[in-house]
Structure 1
Amino acid sequence: MTPISLASGYGNFAVPEVALAAASHALTDAQQHHAPLSVSPAAGLPVLREALAERYRQRGAAGVGAGQVVVTAGAKTGLFALLSELLQPGDEVLLPTPNWFGFFELVRRAGGTLRTLPLPAAGNYALTPDTLRAALTPATRLLIISNPNNPSGRVYSHAEWMDLLAVTAEFPQLWVLSDEIYEGISFGQAPVPTLLALPDPGQRHVVVSGFSKSLALAGWGVGCLVAPPALAEAVAARLFATGVPVPVPAQLAALAATRHADEIGAGLCAQLAPNRQLLLDALADLPGAPASAVPEGTYYVFADFTRFLATELPAAEASAQLVQRLAAAGVEVVDGATCGAPGFVRLSYAVEEAPLREAVTRLRQVLLGN
């Protein structure tokens, strides 16, 4: 039996032609002139930084300038550099869950203490101002929100952000980080809002993003962050001291993708839509399927399989057992316990249709004991 992976965080997207052409031109030019590739400044090519700033200005962040943008070797590198600059021993990071499992280790390695804030699926993972206010303490240095959320696909609206920021403004020591790497994969009626377009009187808002999800550049190793100028400069200095700049051909590919971001994102959503509906329909057809909000963003469905867990085991152990059973049947998934929600599984539909249909059949057989 050939395993089918619905666990990967990368989609099955073709590299955009404009990005391939831009990178190829840089390589061909070096070959034709028998010259080395040029080396980028640590913070990234000025033309890419300006294009990214312009992209955020088009999305409503009128004050963003190129000096606030840092190009990083993938979003994870940018996150770690940022966390390392912000956190001191004992600083607390508040993470509403479910959320991307990578934050746990990144915060630990940066010297912070991560505290989760579990949000219920029954409430569509709403984070209310009262819930947030009760969770924040004087030791909380950073609040992380993923928008759209990985794994749930939840998108926080402009109005929801405004309500939450009214609370964070009460804590002058608090930074707010928005992970927006999936912002172009959205099926809602309104575009995903960027934190950068919202009021930031204390200059404590930061956005981290990348090109592997919404712009189909998985494997190219390009990310970015946008921060207040002093913090952006500190992150760039850290990256200069600890690594190398993103290769120029990859940055030029990212530049081309940035200039065609709306077109690329629309194409990806059109490609994903049939599989999205296929998976949602299949999950709704399972016995006892709970009523739940349809995920607006990302290319995941965070399926509630708590009703299929072994009741004699602790939740995390039972969740792992279920994931192992699915793997034995040839379906690889992400255990929701790693995201703070045992009994849920993250299923990607950014795969070919035929394997997805087969995976759904296998999944149903395991869950129903057929």
Structure 2
Amino acid sequence: MLTLASGYGNFAVPAVALAAADAAMRPARQYGLPLPVSPVAGLSELREALAHRYRQRGAAGVTAEQAVVTAGTKAGLFALLSEMLRPGNEVLLPTPNWFGFYDLVRRTGGILRPLPLRAADNYALTPEMLRAALTPATRLLIISNPNNPTGRVYSQPEWAALLAVTAEFPDLWVLSDEIYEGISFGPEPVPTLLALPGPHERHVVVSGFSKSLALAGWGVGCLVAPPAMAQAVAARIFSTGLAVPVPAQMAALAATQHAEAIGAALCAQLKPTRQLLLDALADLPGAPGAAAPEGTYYVFADFTRFLAPGLLAQEASAALVRQLAAAGVEVVDGATCGAPGFLRLSYAVAEADLRRALAIIGSVVGM
């Protein structure tokens, strides 16, 4: 079975991260000493490195006390949402978006309310659309930048226009999921929410090391929040979980310190398979014109023209995904992200595997 469905890339672990983890393990290996145990919010040097990186990206006021290192990004999100939401609070999620948000919001007592965006508009989210969607019950707005699955990157001017609206709602939190920020092919770096004014101190960023920094499997995530929220999240983790092991944090520290070089190397690795996938999709029958995604290592491809007639959209989308799987290719059903008939296809795979997968897809849809 070939898979274009994985959320993890085929990236080698950065040498600097391996060396840092190895150095952290050396006293245990050579002298039989126990591993040190990190403070629950993370090692001070990693928290400072994270704050420094956000300051380099324009978020001048970020301090180490705002950063929390978490046992993976999902665990950090769960702790954050558990502190932030109360039963019945609404969470506004522009869609398509990562399918994991749906269950995370449900399990923390919130009510997820999708705000559908259109592929034909390149998934534009306008201030007018946002203002019309917000209600007094809306506690949180989540925006993924870059977006998984669409690859859409929201620019700093777009963010500023949206935040002019959210500023009218003093009880509203704004969360930016920036885990793919280093995988970007646009003309400008991906902006961080933290670089824009937050008059009510309710801006939060969640991120991690598995995507843009090639540390999949190391179990390290992070978030940056106003100090009181960061402390509350750390206290919740202290009561319900554990600190990230020190060797993994030292690997994350080294990756953070070399983030620009690691991101550039990953983008260079991805460019050939990215172009291969885009070219193959453009050659499919009836291919619609579409903007190439700026970020992530996915293409969210429109396959609605290949859906079986006479079925509901979600049923037809699932049937197409099953047909592809039976032929030997796994893909992500866009219905799980709020867009039935679309497929999320990863190009963070070996070129030979991608070529074989694309040949199978072409044969299934009738090329």
Shorter-normalised TM range: over 0.9
Q: Give the corresponding residue for 1:278.
A: 276
The answer on 1:337 being equivalent to 2:345 is no
The answer on 1:158 being equivalent to 2:147 is no
Counterpart residue type for residue 108 of structure 1: R
Instruction: Calculate the aligned-residue CA RMSD, in Å.
Output: 0.5
Note the 1:71-110 alignment, pairs <5 A: 71-110=69-108
- Residue 16 (structure 1) aligned to one of 5, 9, 14: 14
Q: Give the corresponding residue for 1:246.
A: 244
Q: Give the corresponding residue for 1:44.
A: 42
Secondary structure of the corresponding residue to residue 286 of structure 1: coil
CA deviations on 1:128-182 (whole Å, 9 max, x unpaired) are 0000000000000000000000000000000000000000011111100000000
Normalised by the length of structure 1, the TM-score is 0.99
- Residue 358 (structure 1) aligned to one of 317, 340, 356: 356
Aligned counterparts of 1:164 and 1:259: Cα–Cα separation in 2 = 31
CA deviations on 1:272-322 (whole Å, 9 max, x unpaired) are 000000000000011111111110000000000000001200000000000
CA positional deviation for 1:261: 0.1
Secondary structure of the corresponding residue to residue 116 of structure 1: strand
- Residue 126 (structure 1) aligned to one of 111, 121, 124: 124
- Residue 172 (structure 1) aligned to one of 170, 173, 177: 170
Q: Give the corresponding residue for 1:258.
A: 256
Note the 1:48-63 alignment, pairs <5 A: 48-63=46-61
Secondary structure of the corresponding residue to residue 198 of structure 2: coil
Q: Give the corresponding residue for 1:200.
A: 198
Q: Give the corresponding residue for 1:186.
A: 184
Counterpart residue type for residue 327 of structure 1: A
Q: Give the corresponding residue for 1:214.
A: 212
- Residue 66 (structure 1) aligned to one of 64, 67, 71: 64
Aligned counterparts of 2:32 and 2:5: Cα–Cα separation in 1 = 43
Aligned counterparts of 2:189 and 2:310: Cα–Cα separation in 1 = 44
Secondary structure of the corresponding residue to residue 348 of structure 2: coil
CA positional deviation for 1:211: 0.1
The answer on 1:145 being equivalent to 2:140 is no
% of aligned pairs identical?
Answer: 78
Note the 1:18-33 alignment, pairs <5 A: 18-33=16-31
Secondary structure of the corresponding residue to residue 343 of structure 2: strand
Q: Give the corresponding residue for 1:314.
A: 312
CA positional deviation for 1:197: 0.3
Counterpart residue type for residue 154 of structure 2: Y
Aligned pairs, number? 367
Aligned counterparts of 1:236 and 1:272: Cα–Cα separation in 2 = 36
Aligned counterparts of 1:284 and 1:170: Cα–Cα separation in 2 = 43
Secondary structure of the corresponding residue to residue 311 of structure 1: coil
CA positional deviation for 1:33: 2.4
CA positional deviation for 1:26: 1.0
Aligned counterparts of 2:31 and 2:190: Cα–Cα separation in 1 = 44
Aligned counterparts of 1:48 and 1:312: Cα–Cα separation in 2 = 55
Counterpart residue type for residue 192 of structure 1: V
Which sits farther off after the overlay, 284-293 or 230-239? 284-293
Give unmatched runs, 5+ long, in structure 2. none
> Which 4+ stretches in 1 moved above 3 angstroms?
none
CA positional deviation for 1:241: 0.4
Secondary structure of the corresponding residue to residue 365 of structure 2: helix
CA deviations on 1:181-228 (whole Å, 9 max, x unpaired) are 000000001000000000011100000000000000000000000000
Aligned counterparts of 1:317 and 1:101: Cα–Cα separation in 2 = 17
Aligned counterparts of 1:230 and 1:138: Cα–Cα separation in 2 = 23
Aligned counterparts of 2:20 and 2:202: Cα–Cα separation in 1 = 35
Aligned counterparts of 1:224 and 1:305: Cα–Cα separation in 2 = 35
Aligned counterparts of 1:123 and 1:153: Cα–Cα separation in 2 = 14
Q: Give the corresponding residue for 1:289.
A: 287
Counterpart residue type for residue 356 of structure 1: L
Aligned counterparts of 2:317 and 2:273: Cα–Cα separation in 1 = 25
Secondary structure of the corresponding residue to residue 12 of structure 1: coil
CA positional deviation for 1:264: 0.1
Aligned counterparts of 2:32 and 2:304: Cα–Cα separation in 1 = 60
Aligned counterparts of 2:93 and 2:202: Cα–Cα separation in 1 = 17
Secondary structure of the corresponding residue to residue 115 of structure 2: strand
The answer on 1:5 being equivalent to 2:3 is yes
Aligned counterparts of 1:107 and 1:153: Cα–Cα separation in 2 = 22
Secondary structure of the corresponding residue to residue 261 of structure 2: helix
Aligned counterparts of 2:30 and 2:365: Cα–Cα separation in 1 = 58
